Amino acid sequence: MSDLTASVLETKNGFHVDGYEKISYDFTFLDGVFNVENQQLAECYQKWGRVLAVTDMNVFNMYGEQIERYFQHYNLELKVHKTKIGEKAKTIPTFLSIVDSMTEFGIYRKEPVLVVGGGLVTDVAGFACAAYRRNTNFIRVPTTVIGLIDASVSIKVAVNYGNYKNRLGAYHAPMHTFLDFTFLRSLPTAQIRNGFAELIKISSCSHLPTFDRLDKYCEQLISTGFGRCDGASDEIRDAADKINREGIHEMLKLETPNLHEIGLDRVIAYGHTWSPMHELVPETPLRHGHAISIDMAYSATLANNRKLLSDEEHHRILTLFSRAGLSMDHPQFDEDILDKGTAAILKTRDGKLRAAVPNPLGSCTFLNDVTVEELNAALRRHKEIMQGYPRNGEGLEAFVDASDTGYTENNQKEVEALEAAAEKAGNLNASMDGDSVVHGGKVMNGVNGHANVHVNGHSHGFAEKLANGAAQGLTNGVDGFTNGAKA
Is residue 483's pLDDT more than 70? no
Is residue 458's pLDDT more than 60? no
Distance (Å, whole) CA 297 – CA 142: 27
Q: How much of the chain exceeds pLDDT 90, in percent?
A: 68
Q: Name the pairing type of β-strands 138-142 and 176-179.
A: parallel
Is residue 407's pLDDT more than 70? no
Long-range contact list for 451-456, CB < 8 A, 24+ apart? 451/93, 451/96, 451/418, 451/421, 451/422, 451/483, 451/484, 451/485, 452/91, 452/92, 452/93, 453/93, 453/418, 453/483, 455/415, 455/418, 455/419, 456/410, 456/415
The reported pLDDT for the residue numbered 2 is 52
Distance (Å, whole) CA 321 – CA 475: 36
Selected residue with higher pLDDT from 232 and 1: 232
Residue 34's pLDDT band (cuts 50, 70, 90) = very high
Strand partners, 141: 116
Residue 192's pLDDT band (cuts 50, 70, 90) = very high
**Ranked by mean pLDDT, which of 92-96, 188-192, 254-258, 378-382 comes out on top?**
378-382
What average pLDDT does this structure show over 178-189? 94
- The 8-class DSSP code of residue 132 comes to G
Is residue 399's pLDDT more than 60? yes
Q: SS3 string of 299-362? A: HHHHHHHCCCCCHHHHHHHHHHHHHCCCCCCCCCCCHHHHHHHHHHHHHHCCCCCCEEEECCCC
- Global confidence as pTM: 0.78
Is residue 144's pLDDT more than 70? yes
Distance (Å, whole) CA 150 – CA 145: 8
The reported pLDDT for the residue numbered 345 is 93
- Residue 250's nearest CA partner among 287, 203, 285 is 203
Over residues 432-449, the pLDDT tens digits come to: 333 332 233 333 333 333
Distance (Å, whole) CA 360 – CA 6: 42
- What b/e sequence results for 189-201 when a residue is b if at least 16 CB atoms lie within 10 Å of its CB, and e otherwise? bbbbbbbbbbbbb
Diameter over CA atoms, the chain: 73
Q: How much of the chain exceeds pLDDT 70, in percent?
A: 81
- Residue 33's nearest CA partner among 24, 42, 22, 21 is 42
Is residue 480's pLDDT more than 50? no
The answer to whether the beta carbons of residues 288 and 405 sit under 8 Å apart is no
Query: What's the chain's Rg over C-alpha atoms?
Result: 23
Is residue 108's pLDDT more than 90? yes
Distance (Å, whole) CA 287 – CA 294: 11
Distance (Å, whole) CA 59 – CA 369: 45
